[in-house]
Amino acid sequence: MTSEARLIHALLPLCTPTEGVQEINLDYAATTPALQVAVDAVTEFIPWYGSVHRGGGLRSRRSTDAYEAARASVERFVGCPPDSSVVFVRNTTEAANVLAAALPPDSRILCSPAEHHANLLPWRSHAVDYLPFAHSLADFLEATEGRLCDAAAAGRPYRLLAVTGASNVTGEVTPIGELTRLAHEHGALIFVDAAQLAPHRRIDLTGLDVDFLAFSGHKVYAPFGAGALILRDEAVRGGMPLLKGGGAVRLVTLDDVAWGSSPGRYEAGTPNVVGAVALGAACDALAGVGMERIAAAESALARRLWSRLDALAGVSLLRLWPDATDRVGVATFILAGVDSHELGRSLADDWAIAVRAGSFCAHPLIAHLLAVDPGHSQALLTAINRGEQISIPGAVRASIGLGTTEADIVSLVTALAHISAEARGVEDVGAAVSSLSTAWQAHDPAAAPGASGAAAEKL
Ligand SMILES: Cc1ncc(COP(=O)(O)O)c(C=O)c1O
C-alpha cells in the first residue's frame, strides 16, 4: 500500500467490527462500511432528535438546523449550483423515481442500456428509447449524439438523457461533461446516476452543468437510508411529487392543493434526519480529504486488481468499452468451469472474502456481456412467470474502497488461483499458486489505467 493510501486510511477511519470472524471486504460497490465520523455525528445528534421544520421547541430547532446543515454539506460535496436543490431521498433508486414522477407525462427519454435497474425501470412510466450496446466509448458517444440529433431534427427532442456516471459492472466512467454538452445542444436535460461515481470521483455539478444527479449514502460511507437527488429547480418547476403529503405543500383544500417549492416539494412526510446527518458528515469528511486524493490512491490499487485478475488462467474480466481509460475500482469476472454463484459462496465461506455474485441489478448489461441469447432471456422470463425457480446467468464482482489494502487483493487472487487450479484439475495446486508472483511481475505493468498484461502468458 502506498503511503498516500495509508494516510487516507488514517484520516478516514471506518467503523468495522472488532470481534468475530474477520472477513476481507471486496464488496464496496454494493455498500460501504460507515465512516467513523458519520457514526460519531449520529451518536452526537440522537439525543436531540426532534421533528424537522415542524416545531418551535429546542429539539425541533436543533433537528431542523442539523438537517439543513447536512443539506449544505451535500451541496458542497457535489458543487451544487445556486439554481439547484438537494432533495433528500432514501437512495439512488428513489431519486430516479422522484425525478420520473416530476417530469411531464410521456416525456421522451433516451437511456443507455448498460444501466443499473434503478436507472432503467423508473423511465418506463414515460416514452423511453434505449441506445444500442456500444462496443467502445467512442461508439457510445457517437450513437448518443446521433439519436439526440435525429430526435431534435425531427422536432421531437428528447426531454432527458439518463446515464450512469460509472458502471457498477465494469467500473467504466462515463464522460459526463461531454454527454451534458451533447444533451444540451440537442434540447435535452441530463440525469446522472452517480451511485458508483460519488464514492470515487470528485463531482462538480457547477462546472459540469449537469441538470440532475443522484447518489446513495450507503455507498459513500454513511449508513443506509439517506441519499440525495440534486435537481435544477427550473427544469422540474411544476413537477408532481412522487410522495404526496405533509411538508410538500403550501396550502391544501378539500379539492385542491398548492404544492411547495423544491426541495420540500419532493420530501413529503417526516424526513430521515438521522440519515441526513450521517450523510452530511460523510460528505464533509470525504471532501475534507479530497476526492482527487482518494481517486489517486484507489486507482493504484484498482490497477493491481485488474492486472492480477487478468493474469489468472480461466478468468475473463468483463468490459463494455475497452477504450474507456477512466474506471473506478470494480472488477467483474467469470471463472471458466466454475459457476459464479458457487464461486461467490466459496470465496465467502472457504476464504472469508466478501464479493458479490449475480447480475448486479443490471440484467440487460450482464446478458449482453455474457452473450446470452435473447431467446434464452425470453425463456427465462417465461419460466419465471410460470413460477419456476431458475438461476439467472451471472458473474462475480470484486470492488474496492477506502479500507482496501494490497493484501486484500493478494488474498482474492490467491484464492481464485486455488479455485481455478482445482477446477482445471491441476495436480500440484500449491506449486501453481506459488508461481503467482512471477506471473504478477509479468502482468503488473506500471500500466496506464485500463491496460492489462494480457500479452504475457496466463498462470
Ligand atoms: C450504478 C448504480 N445505480 C443505482 C444503484 C441503486 O442504488 P440504491 O440501491 O442505493 O438505490 C446502484 C446500486 O448498486 C448502482 O450501483
pLDDT of 48-71, one tens digit each? 989 898 878 999 999 999 999 999
- What is the structure's pLDDT at 446? 43
CB hemisphere CA count around 131 (13 angstroms): 27
Integer angstrom CA distances of residue 364 from 394, 397, 421, 431: 11, 16, 31, 40
For residue 174, the model assigns a pLDDT of 98
- pLDDT score of 426: 85
Residue 202 pLDDT exceeds 60: yes
Please tell me which residue, 56 or 99, carries the higher pLDDT value.
99
Which one, of 208, 224, 287, 229, lies nearest residue 88 by Cα? 229
Q: How far is the CA of 434 from the centre of ligand 1 (A)?
A: 38
- In the prediction, which pLDDT does 441 show? 56
Q: Cα of 118 to ligand 1 centre, how many Å?
A: 6
> Residues lining ligand 1, judged by CB closer than 6 Å?
91-93, 116, 118-119, 164, 168, 193, 195-196, 216
- The domain over range 37-289 is classified in CATH as 3.40.50.10240: no
Q: Which amino acid is at 295?
A: A
Equal fold, 3-30+290-359+394-443 vs 37-289:
no
Ligand 1, atom 12, residue with closest C-alpha: 195
- Cα–Cα distance measured from residue 390 to residue 380, given in angstroms and rounded to the nearest whole number: 7
pLDDT digits (tens, 9 = 90+) for 237-276: 999 999 999 999 999 999 999 999 999 999 999 999 999 9
**Separation CA 343–CA 348 (nearest Å):** 9
Tell how far the Cα of 119 is from the centroid of ligand 1, in angstroms.
8
C-alpha 116 – ligand 1 centre gap (Å): 7
3-30+290-359+394-443: CATH homologous superfamily? Aspartate Aminotransferase, domain 1 (3.90.1150.10)
- Owner of C-alpha cell 417549492: 261
Helices 36-45 and 273-289: crossing angle, nearest 10°?
Answer: 140
Ligand 1 atom nearest to CA at 361? 14
Spatial neighbors of 272 by CB under 8 A, at least 6 apart, are 88, 90, 225, 226
Instruction: Please give the backbone phi and psi of residue 25, each rounded to the nearest 5 degrees, phi first.
Output: -95, 110
According to the model, what pLDDT value does residue 449 have?
41
Residue whose CA is at the smallest distance from ligand 1 atom 16:
168
Mean pLDDT to the nearest integer, 330-341: 97
Closest ligand 1 atom number to CA of residue 94:
11
What atom in ligand 1 is closest to the CA of residue 193? 3
Q: What residues does each domain of the chain span?
A: 3-30+290-359+394-443, 37-289
The catalytic residue among 80, 111, 283, 361 is 361
361 as an active site residue: the answer is yes
Mutate to test the pocket of ligand 1, among 31, 89, 92, 215 (most ligand atoms within 8 A of CB): 92
Out of 88, 116, 220, 366, mutate this one to test ligand 1's pocket (max ligand atoms within 8 Å of CB): namely 116
- Quote the ligand 1 centre to 92 CA distance (angstroms): 6
Mean pLDDT of 143-161: 98
Percent of the chain exceeding pLDDT 70 equals: 94
Q: ∠ CA(271), CA(275), CA(279), 5° rounding?
A: 125
Tens digit of pLDDT for each residue in 121-131? 999 999 999 99
From ligand 1's centre to the CA of 208, what distance in Å?
Answer: 22
Query: Which pLDDT belongs to residue 434?
Result: 75
Amino acid occupying residue 423 = A
Gap between the Cα atoms of 360 and 356, Å rounded: 8
- Predicted structure pTM score: 0.94
